[in-house]
Amino acid sequence: MDPMEEIKQTFFIECEDLLEELNDGLTAMSDGSADAETVNAVFRAAHSIKGGAGAFALDDLVRFAHKFETTLDEVRQERLEVNADLMSVFLRSGDMLADLVHSSRDGVDIDAVAVDELIAELEAFCGSDDAAGGETEEKTDFQPMALDLDLDLDLGLGEEEEPSPPSLNAFNILFRPRKELYANGNETSFLLRALTDLGTVTSKCDFSNVPLLDELDPEGACLEWRITVTTEFDEAQVREVFDFVESD
């Protein structure tokens, strides 16, 4: 069997366990015996189903699970109180989630109107334009990845200071890491190496801020680099090398 198809079958088997966990939790919430961990477990079950479904581009399942998860999160964060109306919607949502899992597994259609109506009922409790809703708009199928690109590190990029062949860009970069960069497991030499994958790199390390040994903080950051990258790639792609150290 195709390995991805095999993993997809594993996903549907895992869904059965998650649905059971979810239903047990909803039953406890319904009879008033649930504690915070019960609500967490119900939330995680819906969350895990959504996560796996996204990997296989099961978009209808992702869409419903996301709305269900979002409403559960409101309860989890104590922004929404459980009452009989909400429990009625939750219990029917548990059933709908199971139906969507099974229809996705068996490749059969489900009543889209009924799904939309229940989503509207969930939205009555959690709103229709929650911040995380954008996730469902992403293309799925093991493809997209969102990376942090909004740099605010001290990274001065100056473009095309020197003449270059028409198809090449030259970027001057001032790279001045703070100590948090090292504390979070990043390593400047790896970032410099990644730049070399983009084109020709010259760099000069400035040691002038390195104190005498008895004043040196071994976990501090006192080096900075002046780097020139000559590359066919654009500024966004150069910045992407630094995307994990945006605030470091």
Partner 1 sequence: MALTILAVDDSRTMRDMLSFALKGAGFDVSVAEDGVHGLEVLPDVCPDVIITDMNMPRMDGLGFIKGVRSDNSFRAIPILVLTTESGAELKAKAREAGATGWIVKPFDKDKLVAAIRRIAA
- Where do contacts with partner 1 occur on this chain (CB under 8 A)? 3-4, 7, 10-11, 14, 40-41, 43-44, 47-48, 50-52, 54-55, 131-132, 134-135, 138, 140-148, 180, 182-187, 190-191, 194, 241, 243-244, 247
Closest separation between CB of residue 169 and partner 1, Å? 20
Residue 135 or 206: the one with the smaller Cβ distance to partner 1 is 135
Residues 180 and 208: beta-carbon distance below 8 Å: no
| Segments in the chain forming alpha helices (H) | 3-30, 36-55, 59-76, 84-106, 112-126, 179-183, 188-196, 235-240
3-state secondary structure of 135: helix
- Contacts with 217 (C-beta within 8 Å, 6 or more apart), sequence order: 179
Closest separation between CB of residue 143 and partner 1, Å? 5
Residue 143 or 208: the one with the smaller Cβ distance to partner 1 is 143
Cα–Cα dist 26/32, whole Å: 10
Residues 126 and 80: beta-carbon distance below 8 Å: yes
Closest separation between CB of residue 118 and partner 1, Å? 21
Closest separation between CB of residue 8 and partner 1, Å? 8
Residue 113 or 147: the one with the smaller Cβ distance to partner 1 is 147
Residue 130 or 206: the one with the smaller Cβ distance to partner 1 is 130
